[in-house]
Amino acid sequence: MTNKGGKSRIIIGIIVIILMALVVGSIIYAQGKEKYNNLGIEEYQKGNYNKAISYFNKAIELNPNNAFAYNNRGLAHSELKEYDKAISDYNKAIALKPDYAIAYFNRGLSYFATGSYYNSKPFESAVSDFSKAIELKPDYVDAYYNRGLAYCQFFHYYMKLPSSAFPRGIEDKYNKALADFDKVLGLDPLYVLAYAGKGNAYYRYGDSYEEMKRAIAEYDKALKSESLIVQRVGNKGLAGVYASRARAYLYMEEQDKATSDYLKAMELYPELMTAVGHQAFVYLDLRQYDKALELSKKYVDLTEAEGDAEGYYAYVCRGMCYYSLKEYDKAIPDFKKVIDDYESHFEAEAHRYLGMIYSKKGDEKRAKEYFEKAIELCTKQIDRGGITIPGAYYERGLSYMGLKEYDRAISDFKKVIELKTMSDREFGHMNHYNEAHRSLGVVYSQINETEKAREYFEMAIELYKKPGGAKHKVEEVEELLNKL
């Protein structure tokens, strides 16, 4: 599924597992004579959703005022990701039965499923529906839990500068999310997914090593009761908790712990796309290219099967693996796929990689064209402003390096360092402030300014050794330092 011209997420790091309730427990059995409704339920429970819909159609045809049949058909459409049809069915069920708390809840789930980082309107509708369900049924624990998740979608630390606070309205949603998860635990202490919900809230709202430790403490509480999680949401839900904790470990640059959790998530649910994609990038970061390639191939397959509009992550990842393994002819189609079929933050990086590939192949003319296009895209991004500016300067600096325009590369890397209040943070699995020091060391070594290269390599090593500072990169920089 392509997305040229559409909006996309900034970078893979924004993706966080959302622990939607997988078992809504709201299929309603009809009374006696309404056999088609009951037959539809039987097919639904077998996973035969299209067949279930055909039976619910007959039930509605025989009794157009059957709110339960509309609700049940809505659930089947939801399972098929036909959310507009599902919402339409829930609307009809609610019109027929205005006190139908379960239909409000199910409609809230469908609204939630259609929201995104760039489109929070559906989350507002979800909050409204979950709130109505709670009004009608004050002890509706699933509604409190999912409303907490919906509130969490309004904030993420990528939405602000590290030194700034969220607006008061966002802070209010954060507090409401925590209150909902606490309410869940008050109503049902065995609903341990609420601890994972609190972990997600702390992860998304916080932007510091200490806040990530706080999030991990909540995930730990949830994972003490794995069997309770499986009972409620199955292996996929448990895998989601492991993947969420892994993402917090990535913020802290604890690659080994993140890897352990992602592998556990994939053991529980091999098709968990977020775990597959994130771990592929982790292996790349650790320079374990064969493992990265194996997962990146699976990542591409999953995004294609799902029709994922943000599949550029997968193609970039696989292309980077092929490049690292010097399989350049295999890397080229992946990077061209990113450029031709998607509009994303990765376009500049895809152009830069193609520049590096054609340079390796000895085609300097084509290499120059791709490097210059990468620079053009980065410059536009810088001119637009926003929180991605440090990454754009850093990417442009790398592209200038490809053209051997070292003075311009140095200027861009120093700009990243100058923007410390924006760049000294985890953003998409990278701290651009730290990486700019390392890259300056590389540039100065290439132009034989050994003392300056040594200075920046030593600073990079010290930065990497700090908590959350990518200790796994220290050895690599020490190797560069020893070569001076």
Same domain, residue pair 143 and 251? yes
Cα-only R_g, the chain: 25
Task: Please identify, among 256, 277, 298, the residue that sits at the C-terminal boundary of a domain.
Answer: 277
What distances in angstroms separate CA 97 from CA 56, 67, 334, 386, 427, one per listed residue? 17, 6, 51, 47, 47
The pLDDT value given to residue 27: 59
Half-sphere exposure of 436 (CA within 13 A, CB side): 27
Answer yes or no: is pLDDT of 67 > 60.
yes
CA-CA distance, 30 to 32, in Å (whole number)? 7
Domain around 450: 345-482
The pLDDT value given to residue 4: 33
Dump pLDDT digits (tens) for 343-395: 777 899 999 999 999 999 999 999 999 999 999 999 999 999 888 899 999 99
Q: Give the list of residues 6+ apart from residue 31 with CB closer than 8 angstroms, or none.
A: none
CA-CA distance, 134 to 131, in Å (whole number)? 5
Task: Give the range among 110-119, 411-420, 433-442 with minimum mean pLDDT.
Answer: 110-119
In a domain, 325, yes or no: no
The pLDDT value given to residue 470: 86
In a domain, 406, yes or no: yes
The answer to whether residues 262 and 244 touch, using CB atoms and an 8 Å cutoff, is: no
Answer yes or no: is pLDDT of 9 > 70.
no
Dump pLDDT digits (tens) for 280-315: 999 999 999 999 999 999 999 999 988 776 688 899
Q: Determine the average pLDDT of the residues in 423-443.
A: 92
Beta-bridge mates of residue 116: 119
The answer to whether residues 339 and 373 touch, using CB atoms and an 8 Å cutoff, is: no
3-state secondary structure (DSSP) of residue 3: strand
Where is pLDDT greater, at 451 or 305?
A: 451
H or E segment to which residue 275 belongs:
helix 273-285
The pLDDT value given to residue 8: 29
- DSSP states along 310-326: TTHHHHHHHHHHHHHTT
3-state secondary structure (DSSP) of residue 273: helix
In a domain, 313, yes or no: no
CA-CA distance, 350 to 332, in Å (whole number)? 9
CA-closest candidate to residue 61, choices 52, 70, 49, 71: 70
- DSSP states along 311-372: THHHHHHHHHHHHHTT-HHHHHHHHHHHHHHB-STTHHHHHHHHHHHHHHTT-HHHHHHHHH
Same domain, residue pair 225 and 82? yes
Answer yes or no: is pLDDT of 417 > 80.
yes
Same domain, residue pair 359 and 465? yes
Q: Say how many domains are in the chain.
A: 2
Same domain, residue pair 141 and 23? yes
The pLDDT value given to residue 209: 87
- pLDDT over 90 for what percent of the chain? 79
For the chain, the distance separating the N- and C-terminal CA atoms, rounded to the nearest angstrom, is 47
The pLDDT value given to residue 342: 80
Residue 98 tokens, joined: 């205005």
Residue 429 tokens, joined: 């699995």
The answer to whether residues 331 and 353 touch, using CB atoms and an 8 Å cutoff, is: yes
The pLDDT value given to residue 344: 76
What distances in angstroms separate CA 80 from CA 85, 276, 311, one per listed residue? 10, 23, 20
The answer to whether residues 125 and 108 touch, using CB atoms and an 8 Å cutoff, is: yes
In a domain, 308, yes or no: no
Q: Which residue has the tokens 């600096």?
A: 397
Same domain, residue pair 28 and 170? yes
Where is pLDDT greater, at 317 or 20?
A: 317
In a domain, 321, yes or no: no
3-state secondary structure (DSSP) of residue 181: helix
The pLDDT value given to residue 126: 97
The one-letter code for the residue type at 115 is G
Report phi then psi at 11, rounded to 5: -165, 165
Alpha carbon 453 to chain centroid, angstroms: 36
Which CATH number covers residue 452? 1.25.40.10
Same domain, residue pair 232 and 378? no
Residue 1: band (very low, low, confident or very high) from pLDDT cuts 50, 70, 90: very low
The pLDDT value given to residue 19: 42
Long-range CB contact pairs, 110-118, < 8 A, 24+: 110/74, 110/78, 110/83, 110/86, 111/83, 111/87, 112/20, 112/146, 112/149, 112/150, 112/153, 113/20, 113/78, 113/81, 113/83, 114/83, 115/153, 116/9, 117/9, 117/10, 117/14, 117/156, 118/7, 118/9
Same domain, residue pair 240 and 121? yes
Answer yes or no: is pLDDT of 6 > 90.
no
Where is pLDDT greater, at 219 or 341?
A: 219
In a domain, 299, yes or no: no
Same domain, residue pair 265 and 118? yes
Residue 132 tokens, joined: 């109505």
Task: Please identify, among 226, 261, 277, the residue that sits at the C-terminal boundary of a domain.
Answer: 277
Task: Please identify, among 218, 246, 277, the residue that sits at the C-terminal boundary of a domain.
Answer: 277
Task: Give the range among 3-7, 135-139, 444-448, 474-478 with minimum mean pLDDT.
Answer: 3-7
In a domain, 426, yes or no: yes
Residues in the chain, total: 484
Same domain, residue pair 257 and 358? no
CA-closest candidate to residue 8, choices 397, 358, 428, 418: 428
Residue 244 tokens, joined: 């969420």
Same domain, residue pair 101 and 177? yes
What distances in angstroms separate CA 415 from CA 280, 349, 392, 419, one per listed residue? 30, 19, 11, 6
Same domain, residue pair 351 and 266? no
In a domain, 467, yes or no: yes
Residue 30: band (very low, low, confident or very high) from pLDDT cuts 50, 70, 90: low
